[in-house]
Structure 1
Amino acid sequence: MHAWEAIQSSLNYIEDHLTENIKIETLAKVAALSPYYFQRLFGRLVKKPVNEYVRLRRLARASEALKSKEKRIIDVALDYGFSDHANFTRAFKDAYGITPDEYRTSPVILNHFIMPDLLLNYVMVDENVPLIADGILVEVIRRKLDEPRIFIGIEGEVPETELTGGKATGIATAGIIWDEFHRRKSNIMNLLPEGNEVGILYMGDAREGCCTYMTGAEAAGNPQVEGYASYTLPQGEYAVCCFEAENFTELIGSAIFKASTFMGNWMKNHGLTCGNFAAEMYYDTNSDASYMELWLPLSSSQKMMKMKKTWDKTNGAQKPSLAAVSEYVKNPLFEQLCKYLETEYQSKPVLEYSRCSMQYGWNVKYKKAGRTLCTLYPMEGYFIALIVIGEREQTETELMLPFFTEYLQQLYHETKTGMGQKWLMINVTDDAVLEDVKQCIAIRRGKKKK
């Protein structure tokens, strides 16, 4: 079992027992881990401590219960583990910015911390092959748009914190824009009777820390409607993620976050680069099962290809920048790991030239307190992470080994020990192996918490 599968089993358990008393020991048992390693892995993969995650999921479920006025607010609070009305109100307002009474009186679309589907981070499918994940049907196809399509609607700003994959809570700004569009849609001229509705995310004139988000519907011809925004979906090639959810609110909530997560990983693993906007194409928004497509324009990588031809990593006289190395690697996992090392460990990259026969040429080294955390060797399309496991890290590494990928487990066993050390040369080619590297670095650094 991989680490993510163990944590996913605990996430499923939490979701099924939100109205009950949930103990760390029980969740650790479900995941077949000790409480210490369970909490450590949970925090790393879910990005929240266990108790905080449970509280946010209870608030999400409670907000759904508040839509019905059959139960008093205090009864909803007690159902989801809050001791009294005041405690529930305080937690609800901290998360969403409004009280339960205000929400029940004037319902709005809320951003919840959604239940992660870790499968979407680690499983890739080929084009035109459907994948079922957490009740959502996902399929990726390529589509060529021969003629531009024009949409008319309402434009607004969405904070970037709202675009963090279902991890920010509060009133959904995108939901407010959608509500306003649907309220005014009947007054907009020249809309196609059977045209799609669309949500388009792009920079536009948004302030720093925000993106522009337009909700609209397809229009005929090339109309300019006073008081409304317009956006032209250009002709070209697109990667399109098709998926369904139970209703429209689910589509613009957890479903779009999960699809975005999946497509981000899918694009990286297929060596594709997205253009400067993303379009959510909606179909049958009034039906029982809502269907939508996430359209991502494909852009070329000519600059990266040129860098590959002009930079020779074995030329000791041609010291590159970190950006040049990243362009040579042409894999977003490299930038992700560099950013992670700089933010998590406050470690700055040092470019060094090595004449070692193992990996001749330029490399990127990260150190902390005089000790090397890892050394990164650029390759075309991927990179190698060298992590040294010494005697003091060996015990913890071997305890964690069953939760690493099969590749890392095999590499560890096949790497010979010399002078009490294993020099792991890890080929980083996907997100799962990247997580292995992060865990090995944490063990080497001696971090007890994530």
Structure 2
Amino acid sequence: MDWINKLNESINYIEENLTGEISYEVISKIAGCSVYNFQRMFSYIADKPLSEYIRNRRLTMAAFELLNNNERIIDISLKYGYESQDAFTRAFKNFHGVLPSKVRNETVQLRSCPKISFQITIKGENHMNYKIEQWPEFKVMGISQKLKTEKAFEVIPKLWEDAWKDGTMQNLLDNFPNYRPSGFLGIAQGGEWGESEDMEYIIAVTNYVDTAKCEYVPVIEGMKEFTYPAATWAVFEANGELPGVIQNVYKQFYSEWLPNSGYELDNLPVIECYMQENQQEVWIAVVKK
């Protein structure tokens, strides 16, 4: 229940600050995960981006105020975070389908986005294949780019596309050691525990695992090396067509597996492993409650 309670506390924070500043850093601190992981978790469970949910909640409450009091539209605009009445009017019309001025003068149909509430679900129709592994320290080599967390979902697909075009992926493939975590790795790190709204995304392969028989593979010229400590990892099978299969793993993990598992998230990046023939794994670091 701790995970569900934290999520609901984060939603309460949003609700209490619809007419003020909403900090993604504060939201993620309440939830106990990075800004990026919270945004990703929210989008998988709620089926909409966090930014869209906040915008829709504000526009829902603004409509109620237009119906129930005589405040000027410009004042309501500023109250809900819009710099001008024109910006508010455009957003209001996009969401509700009508101009805010018509709400007071005509009988119009409006949309409502209710406050979200998270609950434990135990569905059971789709099983998850996973392992809990005590994995030693390991290193990865690859390329990375720093970006704003809020832009991650737009920028990351382009990074993969560019890496294939500019020969980076072929270079990794030519020097591929085939250590676990396996395949091409997508790693989102930074902004941990709400300390920053910036993050770093890494495309890499594992080049060393701290075991007696593992041989270190030197870093390819022009690439970077990153080290991750020994930790407990929940490793989920995600075989099937992308991106749907990965999205389903995250949705089930956050809404079903984690609340019932006796674990909570560790302060480490989530690793997506892309292998051959639509075989994938998702590595999520966890700790016992």
Shorter chain as denominator, the TM-score bin is 0.3 to 0.5
Q: Determine which structure has more spread, i.e. the larger CA radius of gyration.
A: 1
TM-score by length of 2: 0.46
TM-score by length of 1: 0.31
